[in-house]
Amino acid sequence: MAVVLVVNSGSSSFKYQLIEMQGERVLASGLVERIGEEAGRTEHLADGDAFETRAQIRNHTEGFGLMLDAFAEHGPSLDDYAPVAVGHRVVHGGARFFEATEITDLVEINIDDLAVLAPLHNPGALQGIRAARAAFASIPHVAVFDTAFHQSMPAEAYTYALDGATAERHRIRRYGFHGTSHKFVSEAAAAHLGRPLTELKQIVFHLGNGASATAIDGGRSVETSMGFTPLEGLVMGSRTGDLDPAILLHLQRRAQLTTDQLDSLLNEKSGLIGLAGANDMRDLTSRAEAGDARAKLAIDVYTHRLRAYAGAYLAQLGGADVISFTAGVGENVPHIRESALRGLAFAGIRVDPHRNASARRGEITRISSDDSRVAVLVVPTDEEVEIARQTLAVAS
């Protein structure tokens, strides 16, 4: 029985899951948060029960100690379910990492060097990796990169029309993100349809608070909406998505906004929050139905961008065999799915209203009509299982 521990570390927290791989069954999961603060907190979930502790957690090493204590006290026993490897989510692998990679001291150095491209994510992941390698010193550790799946994009897709020397010096290109989710969903869609992954042209919409779309040809990413950072592309909960870069110059000159103020504006105060003051699609839907013009406009802008990317990716792929929706909004908000594909019947895409409205939570569901040439699916994502799969493949 192979068991994998999956760790997703941030600068002040980490989440974990212990997964039995034969049935891809979660044996336990948990959260360690507020690391470095006076009031730290842990939560451990096992056998349907939740166990919470509160204590000061000075660093990730202490956090891993508390995680091990939780397994020892509340189960399952790591003696009985000893992990054969630890998989780590790392947001940015740059152009160096094309696949899941066993972590060595040199890999740690590279992850640290790439922190300049993901300053909010890679440093926290590295802290978790170092603490986990100390806690589980005798087993392999594997880094699974959000960007790796998109390294199959051709040069014309990942290259920006920026001065070449400047771009090369500062490593500016399209990297793409949410790769583990796009990979998992595209493979799950192919399995559900009973068709070889290598024969399918797919579009996947990962719609959560962060959102991205990917065109996938034969299982390989050929175009994706997020770019140099996770800011580009679709409208998101608090991020702008696509924006004329001259707007930033205008705000610097006319509003005297600093670099930090612009960063906050684009990443924290824009998107749905900027348009309507909320980023929960359920709240926005209720407000729009009650006649709130700001909420309605926010939803219209959001779905307009989705249709634009759907059309662009249909052109890039030369048509599609399957379109999948995943993540919080994609899996749970029928009117967003319908609006995203409205007007695309000319491309063989027809959504069945009843199937769309009655899609079963947590299950792969086909929501396209019988006469639709393109299969439209709702596919629950599971990034932790995908990380565990890739980890086991490297460690085996």
pLDDT digit string (tens) for 165-186? 999 999 999 999 999 999 999 9
If asked whether residues 118 and 206 sit together in one domain, one would say no
Q: Which of 110, 145, 180 is the last residue of a domain?
A: 145
Q: Quick one: how far is CA 356 from the chain centroid?
A: 23
* 168 within a domain of the structure (yes/no): no
Q: State the pLDDT at residue 283.
A: 94
**Lowest mean pLDDT: which of 48-57, 102-111, 120-129, 323-332?**
120-129
**Is 150:224 a contact under the CB 8 Å cutoff?**
yes
Task: Give the mean model confidence (pLDDT) for residues 43-71.
Answer: 93
If asked whether residues 120 and 238 sit together in one domain, one would say no
Q: State the pLDDT at residue 80.
A: 94
If asked whether residues 99 and 243 sit together in one domain, one would say no
The set of residues, in sequence order, having a beta carbon less than 8 Å from that of 243 and lying 6+ positions away, is 266
- In the sheet where 375-378 sits, what is the strand order? 220-224, 211-217, 201-207, 322-326, 375-378, 365-366
Q: State the pLDDT at residue 233.
A: 98
* 173 within a domain of the structure (yes/no): no
Tokens 């990317």 correspond to 309
Residue 158 token pair: 């990942």
If asked whether residues 228 and 130 sit together in one domain, one would say no
**Is 27:71 a contact under the CB 8 Å cutoff?**
no
pLDDT in tens, 251-269: 999 999 999 999 999 999 9
If asked whether residues 201 and 130 sit together in one domain, one would say no
Strands (E) in the chain, as ranges, are: 3-9, 13-20, 25-33, 40-46, 49-55, 85-90, 101-102, 141-145, 201-207, 211-217, 220-224, 322-326, 365-366, 375-378
If asked whether residues 231 and 339 sit together in one domain, one would say yes
Q: State the pLDDT at residue 364.
A: 97
If asked whether residues 222 and 118 sit together in one domain, one would say no
Catalytic (active-site) positions: 146
CATH code of the domain containing 100: 3.30.420.40
Q: Is the peptide bond before 76 cis (omega within 30 degrees of 0)?
A: yes
* 133 within a domain of the structure (yes/no): yes
C-alpha closest to that of 100 among 141, 136, 143, 57 = 143
* 365 within a domain of the structure (yes/no): yes
* Structural domain count, the chain: 2
If asked whether residues 113 and 34 sit together in one domain, one would say yes
**Residue 36 CB-half CA count within 13 A:** 8
* 174 within a domain of the structure (yes/no): no
Cα separations (Å) of 239 from 20, 90, 270?
36, 21, 5
Confidence class for position 117, pLDDT limits 50, 70, 90: confident
* 392 within a domain of the structure (yes/no): no
C-alpha closest to that of 135 among 14, 1, 48 = 14
**Is 327:181 a contact under the CB 8 Å cutoff?**
yes
* 156 within a domain of the structure (yes/no): no
- What integer best gives the mean pLDDT of the chain? 95
If asked whether residues 237 and 114 sit together in one domain, one would say no
Pseudo-torsion of CA 368, 370, 375, 381, nearest 10°? 50
**For residue 156, pLDDT beyond 80:** yes
**What letters, b where the CB count within 10 A reaches 16 and e where it falls short, cover 279-317?**
bebeebbebbeeebeebbebbebbbebbeebbeebbeeb
Q: Which of 128, 145, 162 is the last residue of a domain?
A: 145
Q: State the pLDDT at residue 121.
A: 84
* 299 within a domain of the structure (yes/no): yes
If asked whether residues 140 and 241 sit together in one domain, one would say no
If asked whether residues 9 and 136 sit together in one domain, one would say yes
> What residues make up the domain containing 91?
3-145
Q: Quick one: how far is CA 364 from the chain centroid?
A: 18
**For residue 120, pLDDT beyond 80:** no
